[in-house]
């Protein structure tokens, strides 16, 4: 079905964006192939960002042990729970931000929500949505960063076969332009 193809391709683009971000943060992420992991023991953090346009809406959620977010934190390791939940928000924001930037080259424009996060013991993902969200998960240093992409795609939406809109392409991450 075209909708399934769109979903799979959008999930792949988001997966690449998340992998790029994790790599830039000094990790060596390995895709876990979408196999559901057992719920983590101890303290975990979930962070999510929503996005939408007229034909596409959804959200991306990252869940992992607090220790993993501390491992990926860009500043010295004196981080508090507040620092970690804030950082989880920024991670999901930068991951979905890259996704939005990549989709511009396909002529797709998204608006993002302000990210949110929560910290709890034995936190795990669960969804009542059907079909269930697409897992985008990574193994990092013996820990798992679980991601869930939830998408609702309008019947008229078709993702172009390849990025073609060079004029509309976004500035790359790290770019600086002074006017």
- Please report, as residue ranges, which positions from 4 to 63 form the binding site for another protein (by CB under 8 A): 21, 24
CA of 12: how far to CAs of 31, 52, 97, 107, in Å? 11, 18, 15, 17
Among 16, 32, 53, 101, binds another protein (CB under 8 A): 101
Is 176 a binding residue for another protein by CB under 8 A? The answer is yes
Chain positions 53 to 92 lying near another protein, rule: CB under 8 A, are 73-75, 82-83, 86-87, 89-90
Indicate the burial class of 17 (C-beta count within 10 angstroms; 0-12, 13-18, 19 or more).
buried
Residue-wise over 121-136: b if at least 16 C-beta within 10 A, else e?
eebebeeeeeeebbbb
End-to-end Cα separation, the chain, in angstroms: 46
State whether residue 28 is helix, strand or coil.
coil
Determine the interface stretch with another protein among 7-15, 129-137, 147-155, 168-176 (rule: CB under 8 A): 168-176
Which CB atom, from 32 or from 53, has the smaller least distance to another protein?
53
Measured from the CB atom, the residue of 125 and 159 that comes closer to another protein is 159
CA nearest 87: which of 64, 57, 113, 121? Answer: 64
Identify which of residues 63 and 88 has a Cβ nearer to another protein in the complex. 88
For another protein, the binding residue among 8, 118, 120, 171 (CB under 8 A) is 171
3-state DSSP call for residue 111? Answer: strand
- Asked whether position 163 contacts another protein by CB under 8 A, the answer is no
Half-sphere exposure of 132 (CA within 13 A, CB side): 9
- Does residue 147 belong to the site contacting another protein (CB under 8 A)? no
Q: 3-state class of 145 per DSSP? A: strand
When the beta carbons of 86 and 150 are compared against another protein, the nearer one is 86
- The site for another protein, by CB under 8 A, has a size of 35
**Contact set with another protein (CB under 8 A):** 21, 24, 73-75, 82-83, 86-87, 89-90, 93-94, 96-98, 100-101, 104, 109, 112, 114, 167-179
């Amino acid at each position: 079905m075209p909708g399934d193809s769109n979903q799979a391709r959008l999930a792949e683009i988001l997966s690449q964006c998340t992998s790029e971000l994790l790599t830039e943060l000094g990790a060596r992420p390995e895709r876990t192939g979408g196999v559901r992991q057992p719920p983590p023991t101890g303290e975990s953090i979930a962070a999510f960002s929503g996005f939408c346009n007229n034909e596409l809406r959804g959200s991306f959620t990252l869940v992992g042990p607090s220790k993993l977010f501390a491992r990926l934190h860009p500043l010295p390791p004196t981080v508090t729970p507040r620092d970690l939940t804030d950082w989880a928000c920024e991670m999901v924001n930068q991951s979905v931000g890259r996704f939005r930037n990549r989709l511009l080259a396909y002529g797709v424009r998204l608006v993002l929500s302000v990210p949110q996060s929560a910290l709890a013991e034995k936190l795990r993902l669960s969804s009542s949505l059907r079909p269930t969200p697409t897992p985008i998960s990574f193994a990092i240093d013996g820990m798992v960063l679980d991601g869930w992409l939830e998408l609702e795609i309008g019947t008229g939406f078709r993702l172009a076969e390849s990025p073609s809109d060079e004029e509309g392409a976004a500035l790359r991450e790290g770019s600086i332009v002074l006017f």
